[in-house]
Structures are given as C-alpha cells and as structure tokens.
Amino acid sequence: MNVNKFYGLNELRKMYLDFFQSKGHLVMKSFSLIPHNDNSLLLINSGMAPLKPYFTKQEIPPCPRVTTCQKCIRTGDIENIGKTDRHGTFFEMLGNFSFGDYFKHEAIAWSWEFLTQVIGLEEDRLYPSVYVDDDEAFDIWNKEIGIPAERIFRFGKEDNFWEHGAGPCGPCSEIYYDRGEKYGCGKPDCTVGCDCDRYMEVWNNVFTQFENDGNGHYELLESKNIDTGMGLERLATIVQDVDSIFDVDTIKALREQVCQMAGVKYKENPKADVSIRIITDHIRSVTFMVSDGILPSNEGRGYVLRRLLRRAARHGRLLGITEKFLTTLSDTVIETSKDGYPELEEKKDFIFKIISEEEDKFNRTLDQGLGILKDMKAQILAGGGDVLSGDDAFKLYDTYGFPLDLTEEILEEDGITIDQEGFKAAMDRQRDMARKARKTTNYMGADVTVYQSIDPAVTSRFVGYEYTKYTSKISVLTTEEEIVEALVDGQNGTIIVDETPFYATSGGQEADTGIITWGDSVFAVKDTIKLSGGKIGHVGTVVKGMFKTGDSVELAIDEKKRSDTAKNHSATHLLQKALQMVLGSHVQQAGSSNNDKHLRFDFTHFSPMTADELKRVEDIVNDEIEANLPVLTKIMDLDEAKKTGAMALFGEKYDKDVRVVTMGDFSKELCGGTHVSNTGVIRAFKIVSEAGVAAGVRRIEALTGDGVFNYYAGLEQELKEAAHAAKAEPFALVKRIEALMDEVKTLSSENEKLKNKMAREALGDVMDQVQDIKGTALLAVKVDGVDMNGLMNLGDQLKARLGQGVIVLASEKDGKVNLLSMATDEAMKNGAHAGNLIKGIAKLVGGGGGGRPNMAQAGGKNPAGIDNALKEAAQVLESQLR
C-alpha cells in the first residue's frame, strides 16, 4: 500500500470539494446529464461542459472560483468498457475552475498539494506532462514544484491541447500515475503516454489562454481560465491500490452482485470478466440517466439509454442470467451513490419502473431477433452459401440490438461467417446520415445569433407578477443581424429594457404579446424570449415612428391573452395533481405547454387512460375550481421547498431560491409562471383528447374558461345542424339516425335483388341458344349493360342451369367490352380450357386476357366485334375438345 489510509469513493469526493472550498472555491452541485441550451452535446461529458456560459462570459458566474463533482457520460468510450482498467461510460469528474481568476501557478500547485499532501500519494510515482511549447508550465513543474526535468513529459497538440472548433482553447498539463510494472504492456518503449494501463492519466489541467477565431488564428485571451478534470473512480483506483475502477469500493459491491446473480467467479474467465464489467458499468449509466428524466427511445439521448440498457441485458444472458435482473442492480447503484446524489433515492420507484419495462421489451425483441437470425441462417444454407450479408448483420445489430459478436457466435456453429466489410459499410452509411442531420453550431452549441454580442452586464428584471403596464428604459436594440442605436418604421428587431412586465416563454407558458410605445411611436411585440445572462428580449416590428437606446418607453401586455393563459397554466397544476391522485404517484410531468387557447400536458404513464379515469380527473379539477382556492406564491430556498413536498421537474436547473406556487392545500409546485389569483377564476375545465406521444408518455389536451364554453357552443351548433339535416329535434337525433340506418339496410338488400333480376331478364330465355359442340354444351351469349361482377353472378346462375358445359358471356358497358368464360369439370375433362378460350377470342373485341382452365376474364375496346367473338368461341372450343 502506498498511502497511509484507505479512502472510500464517497469520502474522496468530499475531500476534493472541501480542499478547493478551502482555496476560495464555491462548491456547486453536479448539473443534470442533460445539457442546457447546448445542442453540440447529447450528454454532459465533462465538468466544464455545463459551465460554458461562464467561460464565454455570456453569464456571470456566481463566484470566480468554482468546484464541482460532475456526473458524466461518454459513449465514445463504449468499446473500451470492460477491456481497459480505467474507462466507464459513466463516471464522476472532479474539477476546479477559474473564470478569469487564478491561473497556471495556483492550478498546478494545488493539484500537487492535493495529490501528495491531502491524499498522500508517493511523489515518485507521479509524472506531469505539458504541451510541447508550454515552457511556462514546464518551468512551474520544474522550478516551483521541484520535479526533475526528465520526469516531465512534453506532448503534442493531439494529447495536450484542448480545443473545440472556434472559441476559447489552450494547452493542457496532465498528471499520470505509475501503477507499477504488473499493469504494463511489457513493450520496451512503454512509458508515460503509452495506451496501456500502467501509467494512468488521472488529472487533466486545461489552461484556457487563447481564443481561436475558427481559421487557426490564436489570440491571447485577456482573462484566462482554468478548467480541470479528474476522474473520481480513477483517483480511487490509485488510492485504494486496486486493479481497476471496477475494484473500487462502491463499484466492487455492484460487480460482486453481478457475479453472484450469474453464479460466476470474477477473474476466472477473461471473456466472462468483460461481460461482468460491462453490466457493472452500464447499469450505473442507466440509473443516472433515468434519474435525470431520460426515457428509452429510438433517437438522441433516449437511444443511448436504450443501447446501454440492452447491452447490459444481453451480457447478462451471455453470463447465464435468465431472470430479469437490472432493477436489483440499479438498487445497489442507488444505495452506494445516494450520498452524493440524493435525487436517486427520490426517483427510485420511477427509475425501477422504466428499467423494468425496457428490460421486458428487450427480452421480447431478443427472442424475435433470434427467430429472424434463424430464418436468415436457413436461407443461406438452402442457397448453398456460407456468408451473412453485411446489411442483414447490420439490421440485426441496429433493429434488434444484436452486437456483431453475438451474431457471429450463433452463425459459427454452422460454419457461416459475416461479411465484415459490408457490415462496416452499412454502419458508415448510417453514421454519415446522422452526421448530415447534425446542425453546425458554435462553441456554445447554439445557433449563432446577434444576441451573443450584447454586453453580459445587461440584464432585465421581470416585473410582470405585479404589473401589466410599466415604464422602463431601453438598454439595447437589435435588428436581426446587429446591435443598433435606433429602430425605425417597418423594421423588425428586438428591444431590451431594464424592467419589463412581459413574460418570456418558459416553464411551458407561452410568451406575452403586446405593445411598446414612446410618444406616438409603436412597437408591436410578437414574442418575448429569454436570452442568456438574464436578459429578456421583446421581438417584433416598429409599426409607427422610431425607438432609440435610452428612451423611456411604456410597455403594455395584451391583458386578455395573459389572463386566458393564466387560466390554462393554473389548470395545468390542478391537472397534474389530479392525475397523480387517479393514476398513481409515478405520474411525472414530461412536458407542458399552455397559451390563451388551450393547455397541453405530457406525463409519464404506461397505458391509455380509460373513459372513467378521464372523467374522474376532470371532476377533481372542476371541484377544485369550484372550491375557489386561493393561489399564493412564495420565494423559498430550494431545499426548503423540496422538504415541503413541492413538485419539481426532473433534470431541471433550478436556482438556489425558487418560487413556489400553492393552490389551497391541493397543489404545490415550483413554478415561475403567471397564475390566476383564485382557482374560481378558471371557471371550467374540459379534457378534449388523451393519446400516447412516446413510449411511456401520454399527452392530454384541455380547455378552460371561455375555451370550454366556446367548445360546447360549437358542439351545440353542429348538433343543431345535424338534427336539421336529418329533419329531427336534437334530442330525438339518435332515434332518427337509427331509423334511417334501418331503412338504408332494407333498401340496399332490395336493390341487390332487383339488380339480379334485371340481369336475368336482360338475358331473356337463353337456354334455347345452347349449342352442342362434339357432345359438350356451349352457351355463348351477349348481355347488355352488365359489369364484370354482374357477369360472374350471371355465369354462376347459368352454370347451375346448364349442368355441364362451357359458358361464354360478353357484355358492353360504357363503350367497353367485358368477357367471361367458365368451364365445368366435365367439360375440362373433355379438353375445354376457359383461359385459352378467352385468349383466342379477346383479340376480336380489341383486347386481351386469360385465366385458369375453369374461369377466365378479359376486357376489350371494340364492342362491334362481340358477335364475331361469340361465333369464334364455338370454333376455338371445337379445336380444344378431344
């Protein structure tokens, strides 16, 4: 053991955060795995990612020094999992950050102090590396810390320079730990920087000192930043002197549970070990992702979750686990991590439910996929081949979650191989498509807009909880392209003021619209948006006059729109509570949108709601409206608010102080929206639809206030018109419609009978036209105005009357000819063939056709040829008969 004391993973996390707190850092909670306003990332993959707005100065950080322990997911490392000692798809990243505050000297000195003094690692085992041109960092390590020059490694851009397109970037200094020869690859040139597991990278210090203009031109930044990242699991691996991150205290407990479930021992069979580690890792990712509100789906984050979960489930099968097992493991993840992440415990039931459903679903598709693979195999063998096409292998991989090695394994038994090249090509095609679908974004992952160039010191205060009209000063004006000093008649643009009563779209509530005036000048506000750094933008058009920066303007919102929107928003709160009462506590908000017309609420639930459930929900909400509950808002500390049981959203980034909206004792939610003062104001609530929108997510659309009355007025009008059309009173309409339907039924069947009768009559008495051809009866006749269906009916009737023989019917309808021929069994025995017969005569009516020996049909364009065709029928039949 090279350290004096054993520290657990949870302990190390605390030691790190405490250490940097003692160096003047603000400790912030881990951000959600879902990136906020950043479409360059699917999932948060470093401590720095959620802090980007502070680095770019679009938002002002709460403190110039921050430290976090951030949950991270790196799907790029998925192929490494189980194979290296140091990679997980999920891991926690410790980080200390400086926003224009301290720089290299402090960052390097503190990382050294923490590793050697606080943790007590042996100095001789630690090796720093610097960027090849970064003499400054080299000197700090060498002269200030006292590391001999030959122990400091210089690496190139690929390893030691952090950059991501245009934006802030800079050199890195990584710290490696020598775990000893037994972890080495044994190659003679194995040293720091080797890909093997001996020299393990623990900590990466990024010195953000340049700004890349996007064309490879680097400008020195005036205020330089520090961004560091150290894998908590890797630190624990070293401190606990164990083989890999899978042997660290908390993770080991999980790994042992996997072994126990599978009845296998760790470190007996290398292949099984990989499966064990994959399951151990993936279940951690899965548990944390679901706790942040990610649900399995076929795209984006949901797909990452699905893939990890299914991969874990499949490796379970490979190990011989036959029962469902993932929720049991998830429970262990929660138990060992809830210390640092209390949300895991809070969302426990929900997490289990999602995992369990998806595991069931996978077990079903797995069986299905095995069936399909069996068919593919049979087809290959039947065709005498021995290769499965790349496309088929990819289909199994993509649709049924079959990794290539599983397909390979199953086919091996029959000596079949996979077209690996073809598989790779199919995979590349799909990657290409995905790449094309991705949009180009800037460093922040947002579309580049004019708003980025606004001074970050500009902010707006929302005064719309108290006021619907307000006077305030214009701080910034922009057109769609640039910041301007004035906006004139006809121009589109954005106005930013110091204080505004306009509510910007957020929390599912649609923005206020209205007007801004200055003297005679009028600006029509079409939308209100939240901009970064606490600014509120009024987007619209100058319809009269002009506006200048510094003007004191009158802001007035559309009050009717605001009050109708408030009804729908407040009703949404009542609805959520009512759904939980009727369906259960698993109901969570998954999305919401409300405006002055209606409300839409998405929530987690697994089956369609019954009519009875919908009615109960509607009744509860209407009862609470009738109860005239006072609606109150209060600003509280987030933790305090959660303690009172206020409903909060998954994965939402809340400030420390939050606004809590209560409706009597009935509902309590964190919400920044504008609400009615009393539930009675809502007047009425009506659900108009309920449907599924994604796996496990349902959507309700509903109306309130005038919306309900307009809805019923529309229905009433419809009903009256329908009654009028049916010549009945509205309340007798059902009876009337039933009577009409009966009448229609009687008339239809009468009509059918008449049609048959008419067809028979059109034929007259045809039986005296029967000819004898070599002892076989032939009936070849013309009927008028009958379609092909009619001919078939007729043919069947004539056949019954004829007994045995051949029938040929021709009819002219709408200038076209229909021909039908039938032969009975007896006639066929003698050589008659209806198909050939019709082929022989169809050309005489300008058409073609054919069919089976017993029945055939044809069409033609020349009615004048009908008589000849019927004569010809006798000739053709004669030639057929023996």
Task: Find the binding residues for ligand ATP in span 53-92 (CB under 6 A).
Answer: 74, 77, 86-88, 91
How many C-beta atoms surround the C-beta of residue 428 within 10 A? Answer: 10
Selected range binding ligand ATP among 223-231, 390-398, 433-441, 597-605, rule: CB under 6 A: 223-231
For 370, the token pair is 């095995």
Do residues 672 and 678 lie in contact, with contact meaning Cβ atoms separated by under 8 Å?
A: no
Amino acid at 571: A
Nearer to ligand ATP, 128 or 805 (CB): 128
Which is closer to ligand ATP, CB of 88 or CB of 390?
A: 88
Two tokens at 755?
């049609």
Radius of gyration over alpha carbons of the chain, in Å? Answer: 39
Which residues have C-beta within 8 Å of that of residue 532, sequence separation ≥ 6?
37, 53, 58, 59, 451, 452
Phi, psi of 31 (to 5 degrees): -80, 165
Residues 407, 410: Cα–Cα separation, whole Å: 5
Tell me the closest approach of the beta carbon of residue 331 to ligand ATP, in angstroms: 23
Query: Which tokens hold the place of 701?
Result: 């659309």
Dump the DSSP string for 451-471: GGGS-TT---EE-TTT-SEEE
Looking at the Cβ atoms of 84 and 854, the one nearer to ligand ATP is: 84
At CA 480, angle to CA 475 and CA 485, rounded to 5?
35
- Nearer residue to ligand ATP within complex by CB, 280 or 494: 280
Give phi and psi for 859, each to the nearest 5: -125, 160
What residues from 491 to 520 belong to the interface with ligand ATP (CB under 6 A)? none
- Phi and psi angles of residue 134, each rounded to the nearest 5 degrees, phi first: -90, 75
Of the pair 233, 343, the CB lying nearest ligand ATP is at: 233
Q: Please report how close the Cβ of residue 91 comes to ligand ATP at its closest, in angstroms.
A: 4
CB of 195 to ligand ATP, least distance (A): 8
Least gap, CB of 175 to ligand ATP (angstroms)? 8
Q: Which of 43, 93, 516, 676 binds ligand ATP (CB under 6 A)?
A: 93
> Shortest approach of ligand ATP to residue 149 CB, angstroms?
23
Cβ 80 to ligand ATP, closest distance in Å? 7
Residue nearest to ligand ATP (CB): 231
36 alpha-carbon distance from chain centroid:
15
Q: In whole angstroms, how close is the CB of 133 to ligand ATP at the nearest point?
A: 19
Q: How many residues does the chain have?
A: 882
Using the contact rule CB under 6 A, the part of the chain among 31-39, 199-207, 364-372, 496-504 near ligand ATP is 199-207
CB of 170 to ligand ATP, least distance (A): 13
Q: How far is the CB of 330 from ligand ATP (least distance, A)?
A: 20
**Shortest Cβ 439–ligand ATP spacing (Å):** 24
Q: How far apart are CA 322 and CA 310, in angstroms?
A: 14
Count of residues engaged in binding ligand ATP, rule: CB under 6 A: 16
Near ligand ATP in 365-424, by CB under 6 A = none
- Rounded Cα–Cα distance for residues 194 and 171 (Å): 20
Work out whether 201 is an interface residue with ligand ATP (CB under 6 A).
yes
Of the residues 48, 192, 202, 827, which one makes contact with ligand ATP according to CB under 6 A: 202
Which of 307, 348 has the CB closer to ligand ATP?
307
Task: Give, as one character, the DSSP assignment of residue 502.
Answer: P
**Scanning residues 227 to 256, which ones bind ligand ATP (CB under 6 A)?**
229-231, 233-234
Between CA 839 and CA 847, with CA 845 as vertex, the angle to 5 degrees is: 55
What CA–CA distance (Å, rounded) separates 457 from 135?
A: 36
Span interacting with ligand ATP, options 200-208, 353-361, 538-546, 726-734, rule CB under 6 A = 200-208
Which residue number, 203 or 397, has a Cβ lying nearer to ligand ATP? 203
Restricted to residues 717-776, the positions that interact with ligand ATP (CB under 6 A) are none
Nearest CB to ligand ATP, comparing residues 34 and 69: 69
Nearer to ligand ATP, 202 or 396 (CB): 202
Structure tokens at 577: 């509570």
Report yes or no: 175 and 231 within 8 Å, Cβ to Cβ: no
DSSP line for 174-193: EEEEE--GGGS---TT--TT
Q: Pick the binder of ligand ATP from 54, 55, 203, 503 (CB under 6 A).
A: 203
Binding stretches for ligand ATP (CB under 6 A): 74, 77, 86-88, 91, 93, 201-204, 229-231, 233-234
